[in-house]
Amino acid sequence: MEVHELAGKKAPGSMLTDLPKLVTAYYTLRPNVHDPAERIAFGTSGHRGSSLRRTFNEDHIVAVTQAICDYREANDITGPLFLVKDTHALSEPSFTTALEVLAGNGVDVFIQEDLGVTPTPVVSHAILTFNRERDSGRADGIVITPSHNPPEDGGFKYNPPSGGPAGTDVTRWVEDRANEILKGGNTGAIRIPYERALKKTSTRRWDYVGRYVDDLRSVLDLEAIRAGGVRMAVDPMGGSSLPVWKSVVDRYGLSLEIVNPVLDPAFGFMTVDRDGKIRMDCSSPYAMAGLIHLKESYDVAFGNDPDADRHGIVTRGAGLMNPNHYLSVAIWYLFQNRPDWNPGAAVGKTLVSSGMIDRVAAHLGKRLLEVPVGFKWFVDGLIEGSFAFAGEESAGASFLRKTGRVWTTDKDGIILNLLAAEIVAKTGRDPGEIYTDLTRRFGEPIYERIDAAANAEQKTALSRLSPEHIAASVLAGEPILAKLTNAPGNGAPIGGIKVIAENGWFAARPSGTEDVYKVYTESFKGREHLLKIQEEARRIVLDAFQAAGL
C-alpha cells in the first residue's frame, strides 16, 4: 500500500467528520433490512459501522441491546450489566439508546459515576472482580466503542460474565436474534425514555476508574516506577484512557506527563494514518507521529487507542516499537520477574505473531500455546491461570496479577504501557534496548503483512484450504516443517493456512470485514529471504483460487 501524502501530518480541517450530520444520521437514517450490508453483523468485536452508511444507526442499537437482554434471560444472567462508552461521536447517542432498552427490560445497569468514558480493560476488570466468588447473580457488560476505527465509526460489543470478548456461540445467537428484531421493525424491543432510565433505581453510578486504578498495584510494581523516577509521557489519543491516566498520576505520584489531554470526538488533533485516514492506531508510526517526535524527552513514552485495549511503546532508540518486538520483551521480562506465577503457566500467542516469541518462550522453558486470531481464545486460560501472558500481533495483550490470579480477560493497553515503565525502573534499560539484546541472542526477524484484494468466493476458498492442497515441500529454500489449518494450541480452525520452515513462515487468511485476504510473513534470514517467502505464499494462494475454479 502506498503511503498517503498526508501520512504523519496533522489532519486538515477538510478531513474532519461533520459531527452534527453524523449524529443526525444516527437518529434519522433507517437501515434496509433486505440489504445484507445494512443488517447487524455481530462478531467478537461486536457490531461496527457508521450512521452515514446506514450500518450503525439507532435501529441497530435498539435491536442489538434487546437481543442481549433476551440472551441474558435465556442464559440466566441475573447480575448487573456494566454499560460504558468511549469518546467516538456515535458512542454517546448509542449509550443513550442502550440504557433506554436495558432499563425498559428491568436490567440492573451500572454506569460511570460521572457519565464519562470508560476503557475496555476497565470493564473487564469490573466484571471479573464483581463476579469473583459468585456462583449466581454474575455480571456482564456492554462496551460502546469501535476501538481505533475512524471518527465516523461506531461500535457496540458484548462481554459475557467471563469478562472478555464473547465467543462465536454467543455472538451468533445475539446476531441472529438482533436481525430478527430489526426485521420486525423493532416492535419486539422494550424501551423507556432516557430521563426515566437514568432515574430508575436499577440504574446505578459506579466508580469504574477509581476501583481499577486502586487495584493496579496488584499487577504492576508501581512503587518501583515511582522510586526510580522514571520519566514518562502518555498520549491517550483522545480516548477513554484519559481519566485513568489522570487518576494514576494523582494516586501513585508518578512522573507521567499527559501530552495530549484533549477529548475531541472529531479527533482533529490527530496526525493522518498511512492510508490518508484519521485512525487512532497506537501501533501506527503515522498516527503516533506526535509522540514519537517527543521521544528524546522521556525515559519511555506510550499511547492508547480510544478504548485502551491496545498499547504503543516509544523509546529513544527504537522510536515506536513494533508490537511483536514489545510482546517479546514483555514475555522475557515478566517470566523472570513474577516469582509467584505458576511455573507451568504458558505463553499464549496468536499464530500470526512473531516467531521471536517462540524462541523467547523456549529459552525460558515455558510452554507456548498458539491459537487462532482473536483474543477470545485466551479468555478461559487467563481465568484458569493456564495462560500467564496472552498477546496478539495487533498490539493487544494482558497478563496475570503478581499473585498469578486473573487481572483482565480482555486486552489491556494500560498495564502493557505501565509495564514498559516497570521494565525501565527494574532493569535500567528501556524495552527497545532489551529487544536489541534478544535479536543478538535469537536472531533478528523481519515481519510484514500484505493485504490483497479478494472477492467472497476467493475468501471462502482460502478459508477451506487444507494441507493436502499445498504440494510444496520447501519454503524459500528450507524444508517445510508444518502445514497448519488448525491452531496447535487448541485445535481450533484458523480459517486459512500457516506454513512453517526453520527460519521463516507465512500465514494466509481472509479478512472478516474487508474484501481482502491477509498474508503474514516473517524471516529470520533477512529481506531477500522474506521476499522469497512472500512470493511463494502468493503463488500458493493463487493456486488455491485456480483449483477452486476462480
Q: C-alpha cell of 480?
A: 517445510
Our answer to whether residue 147 is catalytic in this structure is yes
d(CA 139, CA 141): 7
Annotated catalytic residue: which of 51, 124, 147, 283? Answer: 147
- Sheet of 493-501, strand order: 446-453, 516-523, 504-510, 493-501, 482-486
- How many C-beta atoms surround the C-beta of residue 337 within 10 A? 15
**To 10 degrees, the CA torsion angle through 437, 439, 443, 445?**
170
d(CA 241, CA 195): 27
Q: Is 114 helix (H, G, I), strand (E, B) or coil?
A: coil
d(CA 409, CA 397): 9
Q: Which of 422, 407, 493, 435 is nearest to 398 (CA)?
A: 407
d(CA 324, CA 109): 38
**To 10 degrees, the CA torsion angle through 529, 531, 532, 535?**
160
Q: Which of 377, 327, 383, 371 is nearest to 165 (CA)?
A: 377
Q: C-alpha cell of 274?
A: 498511512
Q: C-alpha cell of 337?
A: 520477574
Residue for grid cell 517479546: 328
- How many C-beta atoms surround the C-beta of residue 546 within 10 A? 10
Residue for grid cell 442499537: 61
**Residue 453 β-bridge partners:** 516
d(CA 402, CA 337): 9
d(CA 316, CA 141): 39
Q: HEC string of 519-544?
A: EEEEECCCHHHHHHHHHHHHHHHHHH
Provide the annotated active-site residues: 147
